[in-house]
Amino acid sequence: MFDHQIKELFLRYGLENHFPVDPFLIASKEKIIVFHSDCEFSDRFGMIRKSKHQGIIFYLASNWDLTHQRFFLAHLLAHFFLHLSDQEHVHMHCHITYATDLGTTNRKECEADEFARCLMIPEHFLNKCLTNKKSIAYISQQLDVPQNQVHARIKQLKSEHSRNSSNHLLPKDNVG
Ligand SMILES: [Zn+2]
């Protein structure tokens, strides 16, 4: 769904061959300051502040492992690219349910998670791994993303493919 947008983003910054994707590098290219915080994040994983004076600042929960932090940052970047461009002042936070719990129904939060998965889990790499019968654990480790997000990305691509009735289907027997 967001693959075209993400391809343009990689081209703009010459990141096509960076592997695995580094959301910290993308944030720095966008001149976003990323702070780590461990005090106010009992139920949040991140916060975004945008103002004329300070520019854009992300606050990222540091009480999670780096794999999760990378995904959280990709989620915050998604808000930045999709939802905040026309807003001058922003002060928002993301509840921990999003980016970890795949049952969320909030539209913008779902979009941010989906964008983050497209960003962090490239379709061509995923297809190659599934064709070669690689495990979810292997894919998760190679891409440095949480395993449940790999599951969700496979599900997402399958439903896109069945909607488009494409003949290029992901193998069915490698999910589980
Ligand atoms: Zn969010």
Give the tens place of pLDDT for each residue, 131-144.
999 999 999 999 99
pLDDT confidence of residue 44: 79
Tell how far the Cα of 165 is from the centroid of ligand 1, in angstroms: 31
* 8-state DSSP, 170: P
Fold (topology level) of 3-120: Arc Repressor Mutant, subunit A (1.10.10)
Tell how far the Cα of 62 is from the centroid of ligand 1, in angstroms: 16
Tell how far the Cα of 59 is from the centroid of ligand 1, in angstroms: 12
Q: Which residue do the tokens 């106010």 mark?
A: 40
DSSP line for 25-36: HHHHHTT-EEEE
pLDDT confidence of residue 176: 44
Say whether pLDDT at 103 is over 70: no
Tell how far the Cα of 7 is from the centroid of ligand 1, in angstroms: 22
> Which secondary structure element, helix H or strand E, spans residue 46, and what is its range?
strand 44-51
Question: 147: helix, coil or strand?
Answer: helix
Say whether pLDDT at 83 is over 60: yes
The more confidently predicted of residues 41 and 81 is 81
Say whether pLDDT at 28 is over 70: yes
Q: Which residue do the tokens 């001149």 mark?
A: 31
**Overall average pLDDT of the 27-38 stretch:** 91
Please identify every residue whose CB atom is under 5 Å from ligand 1, which is an ion.
94, 98, 109, 112
User: Alpha carbon of 127 to those of 10, 42, 123: distances in Å?
Assistant: 19, 36, 6
User: Alpha carbon of 10 to those of 1, 20, 33, 50, 135: distances in Å?
Assistant: 16, 12, 19, 23, 27
Closest CA to 9 of 132, 153, 120, 138: 120
Mean pLDDT score of the chain, rounded to an integer?
Answer: 86
Tell how far the Cα of 106 is from the centroid of ligand 1, in angstroms: 9
Q: Which residue do the tokens 């980016």 mark?
A: 99
Question: 173: helix, coil or strand?
Answer: coil
Say whether pLDDT at 167 is over 70: no
pLDDT confidence of residue 161: 82
pLDDT confidence of residue 40: 60
Upper half-sphere CA count for residue 14 (Cβ side, 13 Å): 1
